[in-house]
Structure 1
Amino acid sequence: MSRAFLFATWSGGGAVPPTLSVARALRERGHGVRVLADRSLHDEVAASGAEPIAWTTAPQGDTTDPATDLLQDFQARTPMGAFARLRDRLVCGPAADFARDTLAELRARPADVLVADFSLLGTLTAGEAAGIPVAALGTTLYPFPTPGAPPFGPGLRPATGAAGRLRDRVLTELTTAPWAKGLPALNAARRAHGLAPVGSVMDAFGRVDRFLVLSPRALDYPSRRFPAHVRHVGPRLDDPAWAGRLELPSGDAPLVLVSLSSTFMGQRAVLERIAAALGTLPVRGLLTTGPAVAPATIRAPGNVLVTAVAPHRAALRHAAVTITHAGHGTAVKSLAEGVPLVCVPLGRDQREVARRVEFAGAGLTVRSSAPPGAIARAVTRVLRDSSYQGAARRLAAAIAAETATDRAVAELEALADGVAGRGDAAEPSGPPRAVSN
């Protein structure tokens, strides 16, 4: 039976392709799918087969253009400053605008299920007010506190012993406290649409029927336990519509794929240091700058091909190592092909992804300020030590098992048909996990 799904997303760089992959899969199964999105994304939305719908009062941007990027977190001097921009410019500050636009669309054309990027709390509020099933999409590791994992953000190792558990309790309080400044704006949006206020912003994130984590369960800590409404449904491995055609550098030396953020994060100098490092090694480099950095601005040696875009899934079939900022999409695509990583985190969720890669034994991390020599040594170590490739291949097998069926589609169809209440799975989503409430 055909159902109507309303998606909501924003120009959030790597979060967009996996979201539109789910939309495309539903459309291919005959469902009606439309997507509330920034106008800068409308071509991508249309390429997925879904109908693009513009925000009218909610803020919009384009992460490929630093001048119009909504968050401009690359201007923040500290991680807390970057977090404040996320809270005030997207999650809480404009919650009333996102709620207003979403409810207007739902009233004009009702939907059976609302599917929204988890960071759009205003949109999730609108779904709650409309009384329809709501699914939040998480396009990276589950970012909220849970038993069995350190607080999200700093990229800490899992705690051991009483001192480690105390560290986690203290840091959890410190890392969640800044959300309080966003609570008045969020509760104002809730009251405007007839909803009771919530006690904390963290409570609001949990007021959904499903939180679908588009990340491999195998990549997260085995000891971690999740709330009952959280489902790991496997990663989306599609390349974005703008990825273009594959061109490989000439020769038969080991291929190193280089990919930092598809958004602007001040990464030009890092890209040049990586290119310089590869110039000292007997490898071929395929360096993709992404839409936010012009290839002509990157100085590179002769064994490194610099291009704006490339289809990473195709390139990874030839690659021996990936050097990445540890953005979730590039990291998981690499692991799905059994390719180990050298991670160079720049910010956001990247320290957490890099830490999971290291924990699994599938790669190394170097600082974003590392000189070319340090980067070259890390690449050499990953190339020579077969344990990294072995760990990556084990993760590849786990990811293949997780993605053998489309669990995201199954969960969303079950919500649309009213057969899956909170805590009931449409189909198994991985190893048994305890519930934390």
Structure 2
Amino acid sequence: MARYVFVTWDGGGNRMPTIAIARALLQRGHDVRVLGHDSQAAAYRAAGLRFTAYASAPGFVLDPRPAGMLRLFTDRGLADDTLSQLAAGPADVVVVDCMLFAVLDVLDRMEQRFAVLEHTMHGFLTPGFRALGAMVWPRGLRVGRPRTHAVPIVVASVPGLAAPFPPQPALSASPGAVVYAGAMSRARADAAPTEPTVVVSLSTFRFAGLAETWRRVLDAVDGLDARVVATLGPAMSPREVAAPRGVEVHQWMPHDELLPRASLLVGHGGHGTTLAALAHGVPVLALPLDATSDQPRMGRAVARAGVGVTMSRRAEPTEIRRAIGAALGDRAMRDRARRLGEAVRRLDGPARAASVLELSASASR
């Protein structure tokens, strides 16, 4: 049995990968603990995981503005809490969210064996980290070095959005190894939908423009000759949306119940939601909400691969409706998404991530 501590933050898109991998290790008989914000406690405990909240960040509420995110990622209090957690109970491997620079830095300095968990496509992060490195250097943090010395870097994503994928090397926990684990959502291929079905799922965070984007999308699907299912998430209340007649509105509904029967996902380009749709073989229309995140890059990647389209969240409802209609009628796009879904499902993300983390723990003994 190996001992793992996952160190995370309340970021929405990083929740599913962390829970999926931690549960996979737990089911293999390992000792697994999670350290995160108190706002995450219910979700992690409901997943059967031992959870401890940061002592230094009670009553956490995410500030999604760039300055707020930078304060979070460089918060030395989270690093101190991590050291306290390890003093109370050592770990063979600490699995750290890729954005927690202060935690990565302190573990690297103390030569504690750790792995980095990335929750978007690896190629999106590399140039961004170079820019962030210059921003955090005056704070005494080293962004590049902890990533280089991680053993390994576990990417909860795929090596591209076109199938077949390039051949993947054998699993490795050597310093700096980058391991694409795959999608973390449960996915399956169902028969073709009995009727055209559009799933609308935007961000779980209330980015600027979220409510207006919901209005535009719902106006676009008004009277559409298709079943339309909208899942609002915690950022929106049903009272805030004027859903047209015939649109099914849910506060929350599991994607693995909706996506197997979907024809198209309309989303914000978030990595988790987008990859979940593609894992089911469902094309995507991305309307990025936050220019500083991976959402615009994810949208462009989807369009380049021909498994969806992207457009401005400020597009008029008539433009969005036209794009939805074109995607529903594009058989070639559906075929490319179906082939990509088959390739994603073959990776078996949580099991692959758990296996490489077991290699990392073995090497630490």
Q: What is the identity, as a one-letter code, of the residue corresponding to 1:183? A: W
Query: Aligned to 2:73, which of 69, 91, 94?
Result: 91
CA distance in 2, matches of 1:42, 1:59: 12
> What do the CA deviations read for 1:366-386 (whole angstroms, capped 9, x no partner)?
110011100000000001110
Which amino acid is the alignment partner of residue 351 of structure 1? P
Partner in structure 2 of residue 361 of structure 1: 306
**1:193 matched residue in structure 2:** none
The equivalences for 1:209-220 within 5 A come to 209-219=151-161
Distance in structure 1 (CA, Å) of the matches to 2:255 and 2:54: 31
The reply on whether 1:412 has 2:357 as its aligned counterpart is yes
1:253-272 matched pairs, under 5 angstroms: 253-266=195-208, 267-272=210-215
User: 1:258-337, aligned counterparts within 5 Å?
Assistant: 258-266=200-208, 267-337=210-280
Q: Equivalents in 2 of 1:145, 1:236: separation in Å? A: 19
Distance 1:24 1:15 in 2: 14
Deviations 1:183-209 (A, max 9, x none): 23244xxxxxxxxxx4xx333433312
The one-character-per-residue Cα deviations of 1:54-113 (angstroms, maximum 9, x if unpaired) are: 11125762xxxxxx32x332xxxxxxxx3x4322x1222x1x212211111101111111
Distance (Å, rounded) in 2 between the aligned partners of 1:186 and 1:307: 46
- In the other structure, the counterpart of 1:72 is 64
Identity %: 34
* Kept after mapping to 2: 8 A contact 1:55/1:101: yes
Distance 2:186 2:338 in 1: 19
Secondary structure of the structure 2 residue equivalent to 1:306:
strand
Name the amino acid aligned to 2:95.
V
Distance 2:348 2:341 in 1: 10
In the TM superposition, residue 176 of structure 1 has moved relative to its aligned partner by 3.6
- Measured in 1, the distance between the counterparts of 2:140 and 2:332 equals 47
Partner of 1:232: 180
Structure 2 partner of 1:8: 7
Does 2:321 match 1:376? yes
Structure 1 equivalent of residue 135 of structure 2: 181
Query: What does residue 247 of structure 1 align with?
Result: none
One-letter amino acid of the structure 1 residue matched with residue 333 of structure 2: Y
Does the 8 A contact of 1:216 with 1:233 survive in 2? yes
Contact kept? 2:21, 2:350, Cα under 8 Å: no
Runs of 5+ consecutive residues of structure 1 not aligned to the other structure: 62-67, 74-81, 153-174, 188-197, 240-250, 421-437
Counterpart CA distance in 2 for 1:33 and 1:118 is: 19
* Counterparts of residues 105-116 of structure 1 (less than 5 Å): 105-116=85-96
- SS of structure 2 residue aligned to 1:414: helix
Per-residue deviation at 1:276? 1.0
CA deviations over 1:220-257 (Å, ceiling 9, x no partner): 7979x999521111110059xxxxxxxxxxx9641100
Q: CA RMSD in A?
A: 2.6
Confirm or deny: 8 A CA contact 1:133 1:209 kept in the other structure: yes
1:181 CA displacement: 2.9
2-structure distance, mates of 1:341, 1:392? 9
For 2:181, the aligned partner's letter is V
Counterpart amino acid of 1:388? M
Closer, same or farther in 2 for the Cα pair 1:265/1:143, shift >3 Å?
farther
Give 1:218 shift. Answer: 3.3
1:85 maps to a residue whose letter is G
Structure 2 distance, partners of 1:8, 1:26, is 15
- How far, CA to CA, are the matches of 2:58 and 2:124 in structure 1? 25
For 1:276, give the aligned amino acid: D
CA contact (8 A) 2:181 2:350 kept: no
**TM-score normalised by length of structure 1:** 0.75
1:284/1:185 CA distance change after superposition, 3 Å? same
Is the CA contact 1:336–1:395 (under 8 Å) kept in the aligned structure 2?
A: yes
Q: How does 1:132-281 map to 2 (within 5 A)?
A: 132-143=112-123, 151=127, 176-177=130-131, 179-187=133-141, 198=142, 201-219=143-161, 228-238=176-186, 253-266=195-208, 267-281=210-224
Q: Distance in 2 between matches of 1:405 and 1:269?
A: 36
Instruction: Identify the match of residue 99 of structure 2 among 119, 123, 126.
Output: 119
The residue aligned with 1:159 is none
In structure 1, C-alpha distance between the alignment counterparts of 2:85 and 2:183, rounded to whole Å: 29
The answer on 1:39 being equivalent to 2:38 is yes
Contact 1:340 1:389 in 2 (8 A): yes
In 2, the alpha carbon distance for the partners of 1:334 and 1:47 equals 24
- Select the residue among 329, 340, 344 that pairs with 1:395: 340
**Could you tell me how far apart the structure 2 residues matched to 1:300 and 1:252 are?**
23
Code of the residue aligned with 2:47 in structure 1: it is S
| Cα distance in 2, alignment partners of residues 25 and 18 from structure 1 | 11
Q: Deviations over 1:23-75 (max 9, x none)?
A: 111111111111001111111111222111111125762xxxxxx32x332xx
Q: Which letter does structure 1 place at the counterpart of 2:348?
A: T
Q: Which has the higher contact order (CA 8 A, sep 6+)?
A: 2
Aligned partner of 1:430 in structure 2 is none
Q: Identify the residue that residue 20 of structure 2 maps to in structure 1.
A: 21
2:69 counterpart letter in structure 1: L
C-alpha change, 1:272 and 1:139, in structure 2 (3 Å) is same
Q: Which amino acid aligns with 1:124?
A: L
Out of 102, 119, 126, the residue aligned to residue 82 of structure 2 is 102
